Chains A and B, each alone.
Chain A
Amino acid sequence: MTRFTLDARNLICPLPVVRTQEKVEHLDSGDELEVLCTDPGALHDIPAWCRIHGHQVVETTERSGDIVVRLRVQKLD
């Protein structure tokens, strides 16, 4: 398992999701991705995107004014 970070700050809907999707495409099952955002819409959208693609949201928090969504990649073989 490898941890990655994606800076999606100052991007607004739907770009945080688009960038998350592009990043996850190159990750392996079990990898964790921490997405930093400033658009509060990401709090709904990234978990919704994870739900429909089968990835797991580990936690959503706020850190230094940024929204942080941590997800675990789950891909079917």
Chain B
Amino acid sequence: MGALSFGAPWNHLRTFYTVHMTTQRKAVALISGGLDSMLAAKMILEQGVHVEGVNFFTGFCVQGHTHAIRARRGDQVTRNNALWVADQLGIKLHIIDVIEDYKHVVLNPKHGYGANLNPCLDCKGFMVQKAREWMERSRFDFIITGEVLGQRPKSQLKRALPVIALESGAGDRLLRPLSAHLLERTLPERLGWVDRDKLGRITGRSRKTQMAMAERYGFTGYAQPAGGCCFLTDSNYSAKLRDLWRVRGERGYEFDDIMLLKVGRHLRPRPNFKLIVARDAGENQFLRGFLKRFTHLYTDSHPGPLALIDGEPSRGEIELAARITARFGQGREARRVRVNVNQRDGRQQVLSVEPLSRKQIPQEWYL
């Protein structure tokens, strides 16, 4: 008994050491494709932790899509930045389709919207929650993000960060390596899975520290921040989404709806229909995928755009749509342009129309 009573504490210590010091811990990193999440993952990798990345596809991501749709100048094909980051770090990346689940975030944000239809705080909570679910399924130990205290107006304020940890269910398994010293100690720090002394104390919007770190790590060619990663932060895009909800009389969307809002000029000349007019060959090609679903027009006598009609125009309004379509083709200065109109039921007609002049298209028609 005596041996046991003396041995037990040592056994506990041995168990503690075995579990906490020798097991390689596993972290799941939210990888956006930007520099901050890349640095956060690198800091934790350097501490000997096994890191894998997750990237969530909501349907509103700016990166990739717009470039993939629009014609590429100089044949420059854009890469997926999240994959590029993972490739540079030598970690696995799991890109996860969350289009359906994300609708609830966009349509019913508990914390409201930002300047446009961007539900940033709810979005961050959702992403961390999804990462937490992935962590539990994959038996990982903690979550890391590239969040920087005070960098963003809504979701990275000091009072917002605990909200994300709480509402996502991640609690103290959520570590923000770049700002860790300015925040409460998390579980990975308390249990020694990571060394807090090697974590950051970055705050604010300046990116100097991150750029210096990138140089130290030898990262070049990383994506530059370019006005937000999400279409919902864009005022034009948000206006088009609001218009869609207003016309349909309900808030909701399908994946194709939100894709089409990224493409072309959107004009609503009458309340009962709008036109989506391609801006280049890439958009023409993309819109061709929707021909069966929409009445569509294209100029026949001159090179020009493909245009889709969303709504139910009258016969006279179809002529108006043809005149608008002609305006955006190479026959815009011609007296007459032949426009081919294809109804959804397969009926076709060819109209000879006078293209509208620039002045005849009021600015209010543009969404």
Residues of A within 8 A of B (CB): 10, 12-15, 17-18, 21, 39-41, 43-45, 48-49, 51-53
Contacts and interface: CB of A to CB of B under 8 A. Distances in A.
B95 A44 contact: no
Instruction: Determine the main DSSP class of A at the interface with B.
Output: helix
Contacts of B289: 10
Nearest to B285: A38
B306 interface: no
A72 B233 CA distance: 40
15 contacts: A12-B64, A13-B64, A13-B68, A21-B94, A21-B95, A39-B68, A40-B68, A41-B64, A41-B68, A43-B77, A44-B80, A45-B79, A49-B83, A49-B93, A52-B83
Given A12-B68, A14-B64, A51-B87, A41 B80 contact: yes
Contacts of B96: 18
Nearest to B86: A52
Contact of B80 (A10, A21, A45, A53): A45
Contacts of B91: 52
For chain B, which range describes its interface: under 10, 10 to 19, 20 to 34, or 35 or more residues? Answer: 20 to 34
B83 A17 contact: yes
B95 A14 contact: yes
Interface centre among B72, B83, B86 (most CB of A within 10 A): B83
A62 to B, nearest CB: 14
B79 A41 contact: yes
B336 interface: no
A53 B77 CA distance: 22
Nearest to A49: B83
A21 B52 CA distance: 15
Nearest to B33: A14
Contacts of A10: 289
A14 B90 CA distance: 19
Contacts of A44: 77, 79-80, 83
